[in-house]
Amino acid sequence: MNAAGLHINGVGAVSPAGWSAPDLLRVVRAGEALPAANCTRPKAERPWECQVRTVPPAPPEKQVRHPRFRRVSAISRYAAAACLEALKDAGFDTPPPRLGILFVMMNGCVNYTGRFYQEVLDNPAQASPLIFPETVFNAPASHIAALLGADGAVSTIIGNANAVMEALDMAAVWLRGGVCDHCLVVGAEECDWLSAEALSYYHASYVASEGAGALLVSLGGNGPRLQSITGPLSYHSWRERGEALPQLVTHASILIDDRGGIAKHDAAEAAAWSGMAFQAVHSPKTLLGESMGASASLHLVLATLECREQQAAVAVSLPGSNSAAYACVVGC
């Protein structure tokens, strides 16, 4: 893939651990699962358990002050905060010119989508024209582009969380082709009762989560580099997925895997990596929950921070759930 060799010069994160990448690293290193709450339902009580771990309220300094952000949904706020942190982390107090943006999500603006569709069901003639535009998949990318003054290449990818690897690949193409000088790659998701319930259909013990992970990537710089990218290893079934995962395995000092704490769902990934020895293995989803479109980006943020602090190569396992698997190493 083209992304090999890209420098990750800045990272930012919003997660149930807090509104910064260091908050994320602190919780993952502590290894203690954050408390989960029962997900409330707007209509009728749910006769089964459905747990969520949501992002805490934004501290004042993380609240975005821009006209576009007056009524945006949570996913845009998370992504904006993560992007601003990534830029600052890379040494940019103001957004650099010729900045590309690639946004990855699975579910997108679910809160406004659910609200708008309920209005349609209740009375289509009174469904709000203010809400509908915020339901569109690329609305968050548009808001962030407006916030940062990025008027060049901006694109949104829908897919499994690990589609962030395809976004990084395109970022590399844009950077090498002179389309932009720096590129923000951000994976984000917001939680609502519908997506939380959807996740619980896969397994009752899943805890739905939310957040955003942002990476500022460039061709040069002092940040860790993306290396040893494996994938996409495409599959059409859970069996094929299991057969593909051993090909992801690679050497590194630290592993950040995708396990979520559901034994039968984790088994193939655990087996694939079981033959390798690591100084540390982090399974962020077991602590934070399943943040769907944001999770792989949060893994990469963690890998970048670990690589910087430990001066060690960090493998990231991104097996995906319904189409393809990837892995990479973030190295110094």
Partner 1 sequence: MSESHLQRIAITGAGIVSPLGIGWKANEASFEADRRAFKPVPVELFEVDGFVAKTAGMVDLPDEPVLKKKPAYADRGTQMLMLAVREALAQSGRMNLDGIDAMIIGTSAGAMSLGETYFENAVSDPKRQPRQLSLAEHYQPQRQINDLAAEFGWRGPIIVISNACASGANAIGWGVEMIRSGRAKRVLAGGYDALARLVFAGFDSLKALAPSGIPRPFDAARDGLALGEGAAVMILEAEDVRQSAALGEVTGYATATDLHHLTQPDPEGKAAIRTMTQATRQSGLTPADIDYINSHGTGTPFNDVAEAQAIATWAGEAVPRIAVSSTKSAMGHLLGGAGAVEAVICLMALQGQWMPASLNVREVDPAVQFDLVRSFRRARVEHALTNSFGFGGTNATLVLKRRSA
96-115: contacts with partner 1 (CB under 8 A): 106, 113-114
To partner 1, the closest distance from the beta carbon of 152 in angstroms equals: 6
Q: What is the β-pairing status of strands 324-331 and 314-318?
A: antiparallel
Distance CA 147, CA 262 (A): 39
> Among 128, 222, 279, 311, which residue sits at the site for partner 1 (rule: CB under 8 A)?
128
Closest CA to 270 of 301, 252, 246, 238: 246
Per rule CB under 8 A, count of chain residues that contact partner 1: 72
Tell me how far apart the alpha carbons of residues 116 and 136 are, in angstroms, rounded to a whole number. 11
The residue (of 104 and 268) whose beta carbon lies closer to partner 1 is: 104
- Report the alpha-carbon distance of residue 282 to residue 28 in Å, rounded: 7
| 160: Cβ contacts below 8 Å, ≥ 6 apart | 106, 293, 296, 320, 321, 322, 323, 324
In the complex, least distance from residue 311 CB atom to partner 1, rounded to whole angstroms: 31
Minimum distance from residue 90 beta carbon to partner 1 (Å): 21
Hey, which residues between 192 and 231 contact partner 1 (CB under 8 A)?
A: 194, 197-198, 201-202
Residues within window 131-170 making contact with partner 1, judged by CB under 8 A: 132-139, 141-143, 145-146, 149-160, 163, 166, 169-170
| Alpha carbon distance, N-terminus to C-terminus of the chain | 19
Tell the burial category of 43 from Cβ atoms under 10 Å away from its Cβ (0-12, 13-18, 19+): exposed
Q: Is 178 in the site for partner 1 (CB under 8 A)?
A: yes
- Per-residue x/- mask for partner 1, residues 262 to 301, rule CB under 8 A? ----------------------------------------
* Nearest-approach distance from CB 128 to partner 1, in angstroms: 6
Q: Nearest Cα to 160, choosing from 43, 301, 290?
A: 290
Closer CB to partner 1, residue 93 or residue 201? 201
Closest contact distance (angstroms) between CB of 249 and partner 1 is 19
| Residue 17, SS3 per DSSP | coil
The structure tokens listed for 262 are: 């559901």
Instruction: List 99's β-bridge partners, or say none.
Output: 182
CB of 239 to partner 1, least distance (A): 13
Site string for partner 1, 235-264 (x = CB under 8 A): xx----------------------------
47 touching partner 1, by CB under 8 A = yes
